Amino acid sequence: MTVCIFAASSSRIDSEYVAVAATLGSLLAHEGIDVVFGGGGIGLMGKLADAVLENGGKITGVIPAFMKEEGWGHNELTEMIITPDMSERKKKMFSMSDAVVALPGGIGTLEELTEAITLKQLSLFNGPIIILNTNGYYDSLLKFIDHMISNNFMRFEHKGIWETANTPEEVLTALNNKERGNEEWRKIAKI
Amino acid sequence: MAIEVNDGNFEEVVVKSDKPVVVDFWAEWCGPCRMVGPIIEELSKEYAGKVVVTKCDVDNNPQVAAKFGIRNIPTVLFFKNGTIVDKQVGAVPKNNFVSKINALL
């Protein structure tokens, strides 16, 4: 299994978030789950990659050429794939992955997470999407999505597209879960 | 190309047709509909001249959707002589549609 991880590139965040990224990287490596990520060398991305590598795991970075040239890339990855731009980067990451996990992050992470949800809603990506909601970081986003639903901008059934986890351990449980809940929305949409 | 039917032309194109008619009820936001859409387009070519293959956007045509009690999409209705003779709900393989159409001929 290959899991695509979206996560912060900022290194100014609280140490608790950093510790969670490291724990997740270590758990994925021990579980033998390959990782695809944005290739960053710092922030949660960098910490996750370090943890995967330290624990003998396999991690592939996908980074746009301009970021690589700026020196933002991690230097010791199993493999680094260079893309011409940001859009190709995401396209590549989705095409390589069986599942998506979003850690806390900034606007870039938010954009990647919401693209994953959009693609799945359109049946263009079919894997699990897991939101790691460390310290309730994503609570206000999830509340905003409920606001979309209550105002009919989004279908209630589409809440089944993603799952939330509070800890890295719960992410692993979700990834290993073969029996997903009600997936009827994949075949039929309510109107 | 599947013919687009709407609240305005449904009676004329579907109900009064002298050939069997297939209607694919769909919407742009509906993921499963995107799997059925291309199948419907293929069928419109394969059965050209024998069966009238149509599609109806439920968001833009609430009257037709309500008239036929469409609650889930994709729903494909099969008409013969103006009445519904068969129905397929949900994204299913092409064979399911083919066998239902062949039964109309």
Dump pLDDT digits (tens) for B20-30: 999 999 998 88
Task: Give the pLDDT mean for B70-74.
Answer: 92
| Tokens 């979206």, located at residue | A6
- Beta strand B52-57 with B21-26 is parallel
Q: Which residues pair with B73 in a beta bridge?
A: A189
Contact A100, A37 (CB under 8 A): no
B56 is known as an active-site residue: no
**What is residue B79's predicted lDDT score, i.e. its pLDDT?**
97
| Tokens 């809440």, located at residue | A159
Q: Which residues pair with B85 in a beta bridge?
A: none
Both tokens of B23, joined, read: 């209607």
Residue A133 lies in a domain: yes
Residue A99 lies in a domain: yes
Chain A residues touching chain B at CB-CB below 8 Å? 120-124, 155, 185-191
**What is residue A176's predicted lDDT score, i.e. its pLDDT?**
93
**What is residue A71's predicted lDDT score, i.e. its pLDDT?**
94
pLDDT by residue for chain A (191 residues), tens only, comes to 999 999 999 989 999 999 999 999 999 999 999 999 999 999 999 999 999 999 999 999 999 999 999 999 999 999 999 999 999 999 999 999 999 999 999 999 999 999 999 999 888 898 999 999 999 999 999 999 999 999 989 888 788 899 999 999 999 999 999 877 667 777 777 77
Contact A51, A23 (CB under 8 A): yes
Instruction: Tell me how close the Cα of A155 comes to any Cα of chain B, in angstroms.
Output: 9
Percentage of the residues of chain B whose pLDDT score is greater than 70: 100
Cβ-based contacts of A129 with chain B (< 8 Å): none
Angle at A66 between CA A65 and CA A71, to 5 degrees: 95
| Tokens 């800890």, located at residue | A167
Q: Which residues are CB-neighbours of B83 under 8 A, at least 6 positions away?
A: none
Given CB atoms, is B56 within the 8 Å cutoff of chain A?
no
What are φ and ψ of residue B56, in 5° steps?
A: -135, 115
Interface test with B, best of A124, A188, A190 (most B CBs within 10 A): A188
**What is residue A181's predicted lDDT score, i.e. its pLDDT?**
67
Residue A59 lies in a domain: yes
**What is residue A97's predicted lDDT score, i.e. its pLDDT?**
97
Instruction: Tell me how close the Cα of A57 comes to any Cα of chain B, in angstroms.
Output: 35
Q: Which domains does chain B have, with CATH numbers?
A: 3-102 (3.40.30.10)
Instruction: Tell me how close the Cα of A71 comes to any Cα of chain B, in angstroms.
Output: 39
CATH code for position A11: 3.40.50.450
**What is residue A49's predicted lDDT score, i.e. its pLDDT?**
98
- Alpha helical stretches, state H, chain A: 15-31, 43-54, 65-69, 86-96, 107-121, 139-150, 168-176
Both tokens of A106, joined, read: 């900034």
Residue A73 lies in a domain: yes
- With 0-12 / 13-18 / 19 or more C-beta atoms within 10 angstroms meaning exposed / middle / buried, residue B94 is middle
| Tokens 């894997």, located at residue | A127
**Domain of A96, in residue numbers:** 2-186
Residue A191 lies in a domain: no
The number of domains in chain A is 1
Mean per-residue pLDDT over chain B, rounded: 94
Which candidate in B30, B36, B53, B56 is catalytic? B30
Integer CA distances (angstroms), B15 to B58, B64, B84, B94, in order:
17, 12, 9, 24
Contacts 24+ apart (CB under 8 A), A153-158: A155/A185, A155/A189, A155/A190, A155/B29, A156/A190, A157/A184, A157/A185, A157/A189, A157/A190, A158/A121, A158/A185
**What is residue A182's predicted lDDT score, i.e. its pLDDT?**
64
